[in-house]
Amino acid sequence: MRAVAALLLLSVAARPVETPEVTIAQGRLAGALENGVTAFKGIPYAQPPVGPLRWRAPQSAPRWNGVRDASAFGPICPQHATEGLAARAHLPQSEDCLTLNVWTPDLRPAAALPVMVWIHGGGLAQGGSALPIYDGAALARHGVVVVSFNYRLGRLGFFALPALTAESRGEPLGNYGLLDQIAALRWVRDNIAVFGGDAGSVTIFGESAGGVSVDALMASPLARGLFARAISESGPALLGTVPLADAEQAGTALAARLGGARGGVGPDALAALRAISPDSILEGGEELLDPIVDGNVLTEDIAVAFARGDVAPVPYLTGTNSDEGSLLRGDAPAWLTRRMGDRLSAVRALYERNGAVGDAEFARQLFNDQFFAATSRLFALALARAGQPAYVYRFRFLPAILRARNAPGVPHGGEIPFVFGFGALARFAPPRDLAVLDLVQGYWTNFAKTGDPNGAGLPAWPRFDGPAPATLVIDDTTAAVPDFREAQTDAALRLWSARAGVPLP
């Protein structure tokens, strides 16, 4: 009997795991079982933006016959690979990069699970959805469908020329990376039910340039109705956008450097530029690499749109880390202080009264407040004034690895492992780190499910409204703090308001 039982066990063990398959509008997909959920990767959501489709709005996704293998990521979009996340991950690159990935805990269409659509960061110049830190399996196990995607970067994603404007004939232009994001959201709307997701319960979330992208989608008329909630992590949208005329001027200068006929004016120049290798275009320069106010994707500056209430009326969650100043390089501190003009002495005195001692610490905190914390405060106040739920956090918890390094705070992007999970490193994480991981994933997925991050066992997170709006400070002890860094962020917002000519909410 023991021999028979052993043979039965061997037979079961040898039986291949059934490959999960789904059928979408484009064709049939074969995915894979990964870490307790089902994953489908490398799914095209638009035509490859190559040849005559370079610097065009994304076109309808291709169809295929048979079953397409969706068990591996597609290549990331072209970018400099000498530094940053893409170089460390050693990921393949290609202009044929407009693909997305889905992780789901329940493939039944009747499951109708909330959907979380991730937009990666990287300064609109690097990054990609295949980075290991963005693995969606752990988040999906909380009862949500997770989607990530690639979008065009650098001058392939944000570029303008008079010839392109003439060619477009009213078609959206310039913000090709943002147009890709909108195309991905439309794909989600049309297909996510097949993966167990609810197209009416989509949360967009992103970090850094991904956070700015979330805010841009909040402001874009073209993205209305494609999402129901939004999370912007460390998105410095107060850095501003670029007027179309300025973007065209920069594009013309780049075209001239690349050898485009007559500096990028006329169809011959476009054909020549579209034949140049992606590497040559990316090496040509990244000045003015910001979202463009083109009149279609963006009709005004992102921060101005928020201040005026011209944004999607959806629940909004936003926040920053305690050391966004980790991004400061070179002469950035001097540039920061020059921006303050005749207000510098008063602002410096304010910071010194609150413990910012020394030039480096002053610059670090000023940078944090000027572009990150002030953005969160302005945008949350604007949503609250419009009657929408808004929640603000400050991520200040130092995990074991940062404590060992005596880090001054949580650096830019330091919250991402607590959103997506620690992966294989979870087994080595101390209980304190794991507790904060559970807390953050609980807040984020609760928000995706209901528009409210609060839930059983979590410290109360009040809305950011009322006479003393509270920020949830995530630390060894997590608690809501009224008027957190109000004086510092208000100083930054008054400067922005004076320069933008827009009253604060």
Burial class (CB in 10 A: 0-12, 13-18, 19+), 8: exposed
Separation in Å, CA 246 to CA 40, 80, 133: 40, 24, 35
Burial class (CB in 10 A: 0-12, 13-18, 19+), 462: middle
Q: How far apart are CA 358 and CA 229, in angstroms?
A: 40
Active site residue 142: no
- Largest Cα–Cα separation, the chain: 90
Q: How far apart are CA 371 and CA 120, in angstroms?
A: 19
Runs of H (alpha helix) within 235-328:
244-257, 267-275, 278-283, 302-308
Is the CB of residue 125 less than 8 Å from the CB of residue 257? no
Marked catalytic residue, from 201, 234, 326, 412:
412
Could you give the count of Cα atoms lying within 13 Å of 476 in the half-sphere of its Cβ?
4
Active site residue 148: no
Q: How far apart are CA 504 and CA 147, in angstroms?
A: 35
Q: How far apart are CA 419 and CA 440, in angstroms?
A: 6
Active site residue 171: no
Is the CB of residue 215 less than 8 Å from the CB of residue 300? no
Marked catalytic residue, from 324, 326, 376, 415:
324
Q: How far apart are CA 241 and CA 224, in angstroms?
A: 20
Marked catalytic residue, from 148, 201, 208, 326:
208
Q: Which residues are catalytic?
A: 208, 324, 412
